[in-house]
Amino acid sequence: MPNHKIAIVVGSIRTGSLNRKVARAMCAHSDALDCHIVEIADLPMYDPNLDGAEQPEPWQRFRREIAEADGVLFVTPEYNRSIPGVLKNAIDVGSRPYGKSCFAKKPAAIVTASPGALGGFGCNHQLRQCCVFLDMPVMAQPEAYLGGVKDDKFGEDGSITDPALDKLLHSLGTAFAGWVGMIRAGRDALAPDSAGSSGN
């Protein structure tokens, strides 16, 4: 199976973020995923007045890293039953300028993880709604609301010590690799033949 270049956007900038650990563990389970965490902590708040000829460098970097990826993996906590502000700002930055969204057509998956029992359910579905508008085909199954995720499920090196969580992340990573591969294959099949049409 070919490697898929995956941009991971983690919706937490907290030191020792559980969601960052989840993201790294999920990608480690699939040889088909070449993952890279795209940092969002340094992104200035989106302001249309700055989206001219001299855009902030962090905006340019973020848009470039997303554009170069084959797929996008969102891994995020839930804040107040919604999308964390730092993640929503990153989405707004990437979706602009109008008509030039770096997210468009990118296959995506959404994983929400939380110490609470609901596993970020509210954020997960709000983020899915955003992805519909962003024109991102989002993996529907398996759904990933990871509840009860705490520091005691990880070792000091970030490795998973909980067998059930390890198994779940393995299945998610495998499924996402398959999803990205299917979307890319379908897109390639619909692309014009580089050799030209026979006219038949």
pTM of the model: 0.91
Q: Are 60 and 97 in contact (CB under 8 A)?
A: no
Q: Indicate the angle between helix axes 163-190 and 18-28, nearest 10 degrees.
A: 60
The strands making up 145-146's β-sheet, listed across from edge to edge, are 33-37, 4-10, 71-76, 108-113, 145-146
Q: Are 112 and 79 in contact (CB under 8 A)?
A: no
DSSP state of 44: P
Token duo for residue 159: 């490795």
pLDDT in tens, 91-130: 999 999 999 999 999 999 999 999 998 899 999 999 999 9
Token duo for residue 48: 């249309």
% of the chain exceeding 90 in pLDDT:
77
DSSP state of 186: H
* pLDDT confidence of residue 193: 63
Looking at domain 4-190, which CATH architecture does it have?
3-Layer(aba) Sandwich (3.40)
Q: How far apart are the first and last CA of the chain?
A: 33
* Domain ranges for the chain: 4-190
pLDDT in tens, 119-140: 999 999 999 999 999 999 999 9
DSSP state of 114: -
Rounded Cα distance between 53 and 76, Å, is: 32
